[in-house]
Every structure is written in structure tokens, then in C-alpha cells.
A and B are shown apart, each in its own frame.
Chain A
Amino acid sequence: MAIASSDTAIRTGRFTRTLIYVVLILFVLFYMLPLYVMLVNSVKPLGEITGGGMMSLPTAFTLEPWAKAWSTAQIGVEPTGLQPYFWNSISMVVPAVVISTTLGALNGYILTKWRFRGDTILFGLMLFSCFIPFQIVLIPMAAILGKLGLSGSTAGLVLVHVVYGVGFSTLYFRNYYAAFPTELVRAAQIDGAGFFQIFWRILLPSSGPIIVVCVIWQFTNIWNDFLFGASFASGDGAPMTVALNNLVQSSTGVKEYNVHFAGAILAAMPTLLVYIVAGRYFVRGLMAGSVKG
């Protein structure tokens, strides 16, 4: 008995354990409920939903709502489906993630390995920028994007997401590189490697995990953003989240709940896929962004 429980100090009886499992499974049901609702209702005809069958499995299975949500649903004025907005999001997310991650990696490298007077204050300024309510920058941002001729464009959104994403990516890389032995950098200096050579040859090859963490975080955040998308790109250039909201809120015609659910899954799909494939890194990113800043 002493051996069996040697790695934990807490012992529980059989009854307590059963209770624990029951509670844990009830919570699983709670967390899975909306996903279940979205999934089953996205593959049944509208009549089954309005007839009170929201919780039951579809009796007449159909992919019609998915097809409609993707390519023919009325969004705004045009019946284009979510498809063009999906590509808007992709072409916004990819450059924004690449740029903010690259900048974050370089910043983290500098703030830990090339320290200078006042670097902590600079980092503090960057860090605080991650947590501001973005309402505080909406007005001047709208004005500047207008001036630059970037209103409503994907390029404008890329700029916005890089600016407000660089704080977090810097945070990730700074914390990661802080644990990277400074002696390695010194050895490389003595060996004659310069600033970029040290970064490229010594640090970057060891940065795989944090790059994954950072890319996933930025991808999820930028893909899921609604505020900037709604403020600066509400027309044809809108990202997926804004389009989905327009679809769901549209007050004309019959409410096609099944199409809404299919659209919601389409909007959730990329981030959900990332979560399924690399959930471990996603959680690491969440933790790194909260505990121990």
C-alpha cells in the first residue's frame, strides 16, 4: 500500500472516486453540449429543428445546410455564402502570423541576449499593449487606415493584427529565450558569430516548440478576432467571424438555423483543427500568456 500511493499524498475511498468520475463526466457533457448542438443540427432539415428536435440525431441526414452556408447563403446583400470571407480570413491571418512571429522572435532574442539599459521598461510597454481594451485605439486606427487608404482592405487588417499581436509574440520568445543559456551566445561571440548568425545558427534551431506555440496563439487570436474585423472591414473584405455574425443576425427571410450552425462550424473549423492537432502547444501558449508574464 505504501508503494501504491508513494507518488501521491492524497488518498480517496471508492465511493468518493465514483463521485469524482460522475462530476467529471457531467462537466464533459456541459462542455460538449454546444458542439453537439451545432453538429447534429447542421446536418438536418430546418423542419426537424423548429419541430423541437434540436437534441435528437437527424432523421433525414443532409449536407444541404453546409453547402448553403459555404456557397449560397445570403450575407449582406450578395448570396455568396461564407466562402469568399473564409479566404479573406486566410489571406489576413497568414501574413499577420508570419510577421508578428518573426518580429516577436527577434525582439525576444534582443531583450534577453542583448540587454541594454531600460530594456525591461520597453518590454513592460510592449506587454501592457497586449492587455489594453482595443476600443481605446479604434478611433485613431480608423482615421489612420483611412489616411493610408487601407480602410476595408486585408492589408489594413494585417497591419492592425501585427501591431497588436507583437506584444504577445515578444512575450513568448522573451520568456523562452530567457531560459536559453547565455553562455551559448557568449561562446558564439568568441567564435566570431555576429548578431544574425547567432540568432539563425544557435537560437533558432532550438526554438521549434515556442515557434509552434506562438504561431498557434497568433493564428487562433487573429482568426477569431471580431472587433477589428467589424470596425475596419465590414464590407466585401470582412473576415469570417464578421460574415458569420452577419449571416446569423440577418433579419430578412426565414431563420435557417441549420445553415447558421453549419456556418458556425465552418468558422470554428480552422482553429478547432489546430487545437486537435496541436492542443498541447495551444495550452502552453495560454499558460505562458497568463501565469508568469
Chain B
Amino acid sequence: MASAAETDFKTRLQHWIPKLVLSPSLVMVLVFVYGFILFTVFVSFTDSRILPFVDKDGQRTFDLIGLSNYEKLFRLSHWEIALTNMAVFAGLYIVVCTIIGLTLAILLDQKIRGEGFLRPLYLYPMALSFIVTGTAWKWFLDPGIGLENIVQTWGLTSFEFDWIKDRDFAIYTVVLAAVWQTSGFVMAMFLAGLRGIDNEILKAAQMDGASNWNLYRRIIIPQLRPAFLSAFVILAHLAIKTFDLVIAMTGGGPGRATELPATFMYSYTFSRNQMGIGASSAVIMLMTIAAIMIPYLYAELKEKK
């Protein structure tokens, strides 16, 4: 080992500078992400209702109550609705986005004239805020002035479309807007996957007499596995984080019909002053996302080495 005494100043400096420069970001992430996660986990074990945690006289405003927030949480019908909605929303959102994305990608991959013109039109919703998207869809689907009203003025007076006001169907309108926003992005992911396939393999398959249908079913789509995986992971994590769209479109209503875990957490923490319960719901959300993201990121980082 080259002893420190022999190492010259410049070498030692160059050894430390990178670590020094990296440290602010590192501290930020460790404190504001991982520290805060631990903090929220801690809050979820307390009966805190509102900030601050210490009152004017320096007294603690909370007690440790173990897991009872979680017990309470899973007994709340409100949370049960949020979870059920999440399952419906995420399931439909992921499946429909994948189908539309894959279809568009395959169609666009047929040497389409004007592909460069079409692609940005499919993708621009990703650049918009969910609040903007939500506003547009909210009024377009509004039975008073939107689609129902429009079709009726066209002469179909019996036409009815009031899903956004209907407890049983409102969640599907949120799915519609969310699909509108992200399916173009999924298309781009699949298109990149398609463009990455070796054309010679396709030629070989054609020499073997494969029809277009078989070519896609047997050769191309199986090779898109990584794109499917990425799409699933991204969509799943977006679904769990969905918040703004619901706030803008339905505000969680009618009633609680479009309540999702993200909106549940927000309202319990900030409007209902049930911070302990809000924290425990956030922990559940984090664990769900972690279960999806960590294996994926681990595999991706490992592969890179």
C-alpha cells in the first residue's frame, strides 16, 4: 500500500473533492427522503392529529400508540373504498394504456408516412399538468354542458352520459383522462423497443414463412419483454401516485366514489386533522411502490455493471 506520507497533495485533494462535492446531495437525500420516511413511519405509530408536535409550553402533543393507527385504517370504510378504487383504477389504467400504447406503436412502425407529425400529437399530453387535463375532461364530461348536452343538441335527445356524476361510474372517467394523458408515452416506450429489434431476425422469420400475425405474436412481441416490464413499473407507480387528476376532475366524489389512497392521505392529514392515520396510509403507499420499484431498480443497476 502506498502510504499516505508518500501520496502528494494533488492526488490526495483529487481523492477527496469528488466526495465533498457529492455530499450535499447525499445529505439532502438521506435527510429529506430517508430521514423523512422514518419520521413518517414514526408519526404513524403516534396519535398525532395536527402539527406541531410540540406545543407552546414544550409539551409533547402526541403519544405512542403502536400499530393501532393501522388497525383503525383498515377498519375505515373510507380507506377500503380508496383501496378498491385503486385496484379498479390501476388495473384498467395499466391494461388500457398498454393495449393502446402497443397498438399505436405497432401501427406507427409500419413505415407510416407522417410518423414524425403523428408521434408528437400522441405524446403532448405528457407535457401537461394533471390539473389542466382534469379541468378539460371535467367540463367535457359534465352532463350539463359537455358530451351529453352536445349529443342531445345534435338531435339524439335520449342520449345520456353522466358517468362523472355517477357514483358507480365516476372512477372510469378518471381512468379515461389518465389513459389519455399517458398512453402516448407508453407508445413511445414500445416504439423504442420495436425499433431496437434486429431486422435480420424478422427477415429470417419471413424466409421461414411466418405471416405478419405470427411474426408479431411469435417473434416481435416476445422480444418486447423489457418494454412491457418498464411500462408496467412506470404505470403502476404513476397509478399509486395519482392525486392531482382526481382533485381536479372530481375532488374524490361524487361522495367518495373516486377517492384514492393519495387523496385519502391528503385529506386525513391536512383537512381532517388525523395525522397519525394519514401517516400510516402514506406508509402503506410507500410499501406498495417499494415492492414494485426496488426489484426493478435493483435488476437495472445490477445489469449495468
A and B touch in their complex, CB below 8 angstroms: yes
Query: Residue-by-residue, is A1-40 near B (CB-CB < 8 Å gives 1, otherwise 0)?
Result: 0000001111110000100110110011011111101100
Q: What's the Cα separation between A274 and B33 when bound, in Å?
A: 29
Q: In chain B, residues 99-153, which have Cβ atoms closer than 8 Å to a Cβ of chain A? A: 100, 103-104, 107-112, 118, 120-133, 135-140, 144-146, 149-150, 152-153
Q: What's the Cα separation between A279 and B300 when bound, in Å?
A: 26
Quick one: which of A24, A123, A129, A287 has the most chain B CB within 10 A?
A24
Flag whether B24 is at the interface (Cβ < 8 A): yes
Q: In this complex, what residue of B is CB-closest to A111?
A: B22
Flag whether A275 is at the interface (Cβ < 8 A): yes
Contacts of A50 in B (CB 8 A): 144-145
In the complex, are the beta carbons of A260 and B293 less than 8 A apart? no
Q: In chain B, residues 59-90, which have Cβ atoms closer than 8 Å to a Cβ of chain A? A: none
In the complex, are the beta carbons of A132 and B189 less than 8 A apart? no
Q: What's the Cα separation between A260 and B275 when bound, in Å?
A: 33
Query: Residue-by-residue, is B238-252 near A (CB-CB < 8 Å gives 1, otherwise 0)?
Result: 001101100110010
Q: What's the Cα separation between A227 and B246 when bound, in Å?
A: 12
In the complex, are the beta carbons of B33 and A141 less than 8 A apart? no
In the complex, are the beta carbons of B132 and A244 less than 8 A apart? yes
Flag whether A282 is at the interface (Cβ < 8 A): yes
Contacts of B297 in A (CB 8 A): 124, 127-128, 131, 293
Binds B, one of A59-67, A71-79, A102-110, A201-209: A102-110
In the complex, are the beta carbons of A136 and B285 less than 8 A apart? yes
In the complex, are the beta carbons of B132 and A283 less than 8 A apart? no
Flag whether A194 is at the interface (Cβ < 8 A): yes
In the complex, are the beta carbons of A27 and B149 less than 8 A apart? no
Q: What's the Cα separation between A52 and B143 when bound, in Å?
A: 10
Query: Residue-by-residue, is A111-152 near B (CB-CB < 8 Å gives 1, otherwise 0)?
Result: 100101000101111111101111111111111001000000
In the complex, are the beta carbons of B40 and A137 less than 8 A apart? yes
In the complex, are the beta carbons of B26 and A122 less than 8 A apart? yes
Q: What's the Cα separation between A265 and B138 when bound, in Å?
A: 15
In the complex, are the beta carbons of A248 and B247 less than 8 A apart? no
In the complex, are the beta carbons of A110 and B104 less than 8 A apart? no
Q: What's the Cα separation between A78 and B266 when bound, in Å?
A: 25
Question: What class of interface size applies to chain B in its complex with A?
Answer: 35 or more
In the complex, are the beta carbons of B118 and A140 less than 8 A apart? no
- A interface, by DSSP: helix, strand, loop or mixed? helix
Q: Which of A10, A24, A135, A162 contacts B282 (CB 8 A)?
A: A135
- B interface, by DSSP: helix, strand, loop or mixed? helix
CB distance from B10 to the nearest CB of A (A): 7
Q: What's the Cα separation between A86 and B237 when bound, in Å?
A: 29
In the complex, are the beta carbons of B120 and A110 less than 8 A apart? no
Q: What's the Cα separation between A140 and B206 when bound, in Å?
A: 60
Q: In this complex, what residue of B is CB-closest to A50?
A: B145
Contacts of B294 in A (CB 8 A): 128
In the complex, are the beta carbons of A143 and B110 less than 8 A apart? no
- Are A55 and B269 also in contact (CB < 8 A) when A120-B301, A264-B132, A268-B132 are? no
In the complex, are the beta carbons of B286 and A132 less than 8 A apart? yes
- Are A271 and B140 also in contact (CB < 8 A) when A9-B215, A131-B293 are? no
CB distance from A113 to the nearest CB of B (A): 8
Could you list 12 further interchain pairs (A-B, Cβ under 8 angstroms) beyond the known A120-B301, A282-B123? A8-B111, A8-B199, A31-B124, A110-B19, A132-B289, A133-B240, A135-B278, A135-B285, A136-B286, A137-B37, A195-B18, A226-B244
B residues at A contact (CB < 8 Å):
10, 13-14, 17-19, 21-22, 24-26, 28-30, 32-37, 39-40, 43, 51-53, 100, 103-104, 107-112, 118, 120-133, 135-140, 144-146, 149-150, 152-153, 180, 184-185, 188-189, 192-193, 199, 202-203, 205-206, 212, 215, 226-227, 230-231, 233-234, 237, 240-241, 243-244, 247-248, 251, 261-262, 265-266, 269-270, 275, 278-279, 281-283, 285-286, 289-290, 293-294, 296-298, 300-301, 304-305
14 contacts between A and B (CB under 8 A): A31-B121, A54-B149, A110-B18, A120-B305, A125-B29, A135-B266, A135-B285, A139-B278, A141-B32, A164-B33, A241-B129, A275-B120, A291-B226, A293-B301
A residues at B contact (CB < 8 Å):
7-12, 17, 20-21, 23-24, 27-28, 30-35, 37-38, 41, 49-50, 52-55, 103, 106-107, 110-111, 114, 116, 120, 122-129, 131-143, 146, 162-164, 166-167, 170, 178, 189, 194-196, 220, 223-224, 226-227, 230-231, 241, 244-245, 248-249, 257, 260-261, 263-265, 267-268, 271-272, 274-275, 279, 282-283, 286-287, 290-293
